[in-house]
Amino acid sequence: MLLRIFLFLACMALVVLGAEDFYKLLGIKKDASEREIKKAYRKLSKTYHPDKNPGDSTAHDKFVAVAEAYEVLIDEETRRIYDQYGHDGIEQHKRGGGQRGQHHDPFDLFSRFFGGSGHFGHGGGGQRQGPNMEVRVAVPLRDFYNGRSTEFTIEKQAICSACEGTGSEDGHVETCNQCGGRGARIQRQQLAPGLFQQVQVACDKCAGKGKIIKKPCPVCGGSRVVREPETHELHVEKGMPKGVQITYENEADESPDYVAGNLIVHLVETEPALGTLEHERTDGTFFRRRGKDLFWREVLSLREAWMGDWTRNITHLDGHIVQLSRKRGEVVQPNTIEILKDEGMPIWYQHLPEGTHDELFGELHVEYVVVLPDQMDKPMEKDFWGVWEKYRKKQGVQLDKENGRPEGPIPMPSGVHDEL
């Protein structure tokens, strides 16, 4: 007897674990409004649609599960049953013949929201595709170097989730009896006595829509679409070039009349600026990029450039230290460029030579700028002058004489001019 009870409880536990909670599945709270449920379904159904995940059985199962969760939670009766009795209650409701509890084709549900045949223009129906949308998203150089997963939000035209794109509050839409649903009618115009012309004009009764809505949707006002923000995940890969295009299929402006076009994101680089976090306040923040190489300008004092004996620790974009140094007696000329191998940008995997699997980097170009003192106290000036005078008299070179420069002005011919 105890064994039977144990087996029964184990089976019940497996059922509960196997059926994912509908609210968690849609990513909403238990007190979510109807609009929030519809918005969650719209987002997830596009994410897991089989057209966007070809050959991925997990995404297909998720697409079906999201549709089932939506159909249960969007109906007041089935939602009440689910809240009280869970998945078991919904199954009993289905077996009992509850019409609203019956499972429908998830592609039919998808087409009610987005039009067409329930596919992204791949499954027949001949529905045209809307225009693409292009946006610029700026990320710091640090993200191009290290790679990062983040999010960005855009405002776009979306099918109204309150009326599912019908424009009607009660879902009832009538065909215009004046134009027969064509949205246009033929009008006869007189050009002269006995001379007439037929022209096609937009139907004034339905405003060229071909449909008449007696109870417009209070959310979209009968226009069937709304403007709303939409957030997308953005994966910046190591070494991606500036201006690279990332395409999000069928994520442009939506309309019940066409399949949404593509959202094309152009990745650009933000202006360098110190952030608030420690890793945002590094030297690498102010690196400049050109292709696979990075550029940095290092400032040296006159003593350092002339005498050497100095060390600099530069913090790179990923936090590692790049050390610059000169031994005593090593002179650095102004505007000298030092090239450090493998300290530039990581090379994007799509730009690596064929057959290369190791991570490769470009170069870091360091330009040295020498800053001269703008004033000296008298003892320092006297000491420097004495040192330079000693060596100038011993082995100094006058550059004007070495270069053949004249000591005085050159006389120019006078009284001569050219005739134009």
Quick one: pLDDT at residue 8? 43
Quick one: pLDDT at residue 9? 45
Quick one: pLDDT at residue 6? 43
User: Where would I find the beta strands (DSSP E) of 207-273?
Assistant: 211-212, 225-236, 245-248, 263-269
387 pLDDT above the threshold of 90: no
Share of the chain above pLDDT 90, in %: 36
Q: Which DSSP helix (H) or strand (E) runs through 370?
A: strand 364-371
Quick one: pLDDT at residue 15? 43
Instruction: Pick from 53-62, 134-143, 167-176, 402-411 the range whose average pLDDT is largest.
Output: 134-143
Per DSSP, what are the bridge partners of residue 245?
A: 266
Angle 2-18/76-95 helices, nearest 10 degrees? 130
Environment class of 208 (CB within 10 Å of its CB; exposed 0-12, middle 13-18, buried 19+): middle
Quick one: pLDDT at residue 103? 52
Quick one: pLDDT at residue 157? 93
Residues 6 or more apart whose CB falls under 8 angstroms from that of 275 comprise: 281, 285
Q: Which residue has the tokens 């013949």?
A: 97
Average pLDDT of the chain? Answer: 84
The DSSP-derived string for 256-311 is TTBB---EEEEEEEPPP---SSGGGSSGGGG-EEETTEEEEEEEEEHHHHHH--EE
CB 103 within 8 A of CB 69: no
Select from 109, 9, 116, 15 the least CA-distant residue to 63: 109
324 pLDDT above the threshold of 50: yes
Instruction: Pick from 161-175, 263-277, 399-413 the range whose average pLDDT is largest.
Output: 263-277
Residue 46 has phi, psi (to 5 degrees) of -75, -35
Confidence of residue 148 (pLDDT cuts 50, 70, 90): very high
DSSP 413: P
CB 304 within 8 A of CB 277: no
Mean pLDDT (whole number) for 185-198 = 77
Mean pLDDT (whole number) for 317-339 = 96
Among 153-162, 187-196, 282-291, 357-366, the range scoring the smallest mean pLDDT is: 187-196
Confidence of residue 11 (pLDDT cuts 50, 70, 90): very low
- Please give the CATH number for the structural domain made up of 2-114: 1.10.287.110
Quick one: pLDDT at residue 12? 45
Q: Which DSSP helix (H) or strand (E) runs through 193?
A: none
Quick one: pLDDT at residue 364? 98
- Domain 278-371 = CATH 2.60.260.20: yes
Quick one: pLDDT at residue 119? 66
User: What is the Cα–Cα distance from 45 to 159, expressed in whole angstroms?
Assistant: 14
User: What is the Cα–Cα distance from 314 to 323, expressed in whole angstroms?
Assistant: 6
Mean pLDDT (whole number) for 331-359 = 93
211 pLDDT above the threshold of 90: no
Mean pLDDT (whole number) for 273-286 = 87
Tokens of 214: 């007696």
117 pLDDT above the threshold of 80: no
286 pLDDT above the threshold of 90: yes
107 pLDDT above the threshold of 90: no
Angle 57-74/106-114 helices, nearest 10 degrees? 70
The DSSP-derived string for 87-110 is HHHHHHHHHTT-GGGS---HHHHH
CB 187 within 8 A of CB 199: yes
Q: Which residue has the higher pLDDT, 123 or 249?
A: 249
Quick one: pLDDT at residue 298? 97
C-alpha separations of 163 from 112, 117, 343, 394 in Å: 10, 19, 56, 95
C-alpha separations of 70 from 79, 160, 174, 297 in Å: 10, 16, 27, 58
Domain borders along the chain are 2-114, 278-371
CB 33 within 8 A of CB 39: no
